[in-house]
Amino acid sequence: MRRRALIGNWKMHKTADEAGTYIREFLPLIQNIASVDVILAPPFTSLHVVAALVKDTSIGLAGQDVHWDSQGALTGEVSPAMLYDSGCQSVIIGHSERRQMFHEDDNAVNRKVKAAIAHHLTAIMCVGETREERANGKTSDVLTRQLLAGLAGIDAIDDTQLVLAYEPIWAIGSGTPATPTQANEVHAELREHLGTLFTTAIAKSIRIVYGGSITTENIQALLATPHVDGGLVGGACLDPSNFARIVSSAAN
């Protein structure tokens, strides 16, 4: 049985002060929830504040991006060891906003995934098609390419090293999520690929979360499908009580 994971991606929101306020409000709301993994991905500048506040709780911490090198003359970048040292156990890699706005390609995603794993971080690897690709019947091709390229050269993996996130680009921030059927269909296919790449047992153990316009209203139907193992939540996680409601729905 895969444990559900709810990941709150703050994107470029909240100062360190605001992050502190969020956590102090959020913690009491979810303190009795033990059956799902809750992971927060604040901006780099708030990692320390959040890490200190969640230290004795079960809440996990994730970076929103990472560079593959350990150090170097790479202005603006953050290494896997820096994330680990800041209290992160995982990192989001290949989010479509990075792919589209910052020209991150499959090869960069692959290098980041490998570097994260090498530094004991769980790679939360995102894949997703555009509206146009879906309309042209290319969804399967695009996702297969992103998955295979992102995991190229990795011979063995386990569920502590990888979480897959299916995030259709047309669903992100649009208010139009994938239907549970659409999400489940894609997740089932991704899982099949994982089985071919690794083993059926590994494929069964790896969590595939869905992201794109998740709300308190739609989370339960998405999670009711067999292959959706959680959510990567953007806009709806920015308010602590709203995200706590989503987490509670996932726990029920």
> What does the binding site for ligand PGA look like in residue numbers (CB under 6 A)?
9, 167, 172-173, 211-214, 232-236
Residue 14, CA distances (Å) to 21, 23, 118, 141, 189 in order: 10, 11, 30, 37, 36
Contact 158, 205 (CB under 8 A): yes
Q: Which is nearer to ligand PGA, 203 or 247 (CB)?
A: 247
Provide, for the chain, the percentages of residues in helix, strand and coil under a 3-state DSSP scheme, each rounded to the nearest 5. 45, 15, 40
What is the residue type of 5?
A
**Least spacing, CB of residue 173 vs ligand PGA, in Å:** 4
Dihedral sign for Cα atoms in the order 7, 18, 43, 128: positive
Does the active-site annotation cover 48?
no
Q: Which is nearer to ligand PGA, 80 or 94 (CB)?
A: 94
Catalytic residue among 67, 95, 119, 187: 95
**Least spacing, CB of residue 241 vs ligand PGA, in Å:** 16
**Least spacing, CB of residue 137 vs ligand PGA, in Å:** 24
Contact 111, 83 (CB under 8 A): no
**H-type helices in the chain, by residue range?**
16-30, 47-54, 80-85, 96-101, 106-118, 131-135, 139-150, 180-197, 200-205, 219-223, 240-251
Catalytic residue among 119, 133, 167, 187: 167
**Least spacing, CB of residue 166 vs ligand PGA, in Å:** 11
First to last CA, the chain: 15
Angle among Cα 51, 159, 178 to the nearest 5 degrees reads: 85
Q: Which is nearer to ligand PGA, 230 or 234 (CB)?
A: 234
Contact 187, 204 (CB under 8 A): no
**Least spacing, CB of residue 9 vs ligand PGA, in Å:** 4
DSSP letter for 3, please: P
Does the active-site annotation cover 95?
yes
Contact 65, 91 (CB under 8 A): yes
Q: Which is nearer to ligand PGA, 211 or 230 (CB)?
A: 211
Q: Which is nearer to ligand PGA, 134 or 198 (CB)?
A: 134
State the residue number with the nearest CB to ligand PGA: 234
Q: What amino acid positions are annotated as catalytic residues? A: 95, 167
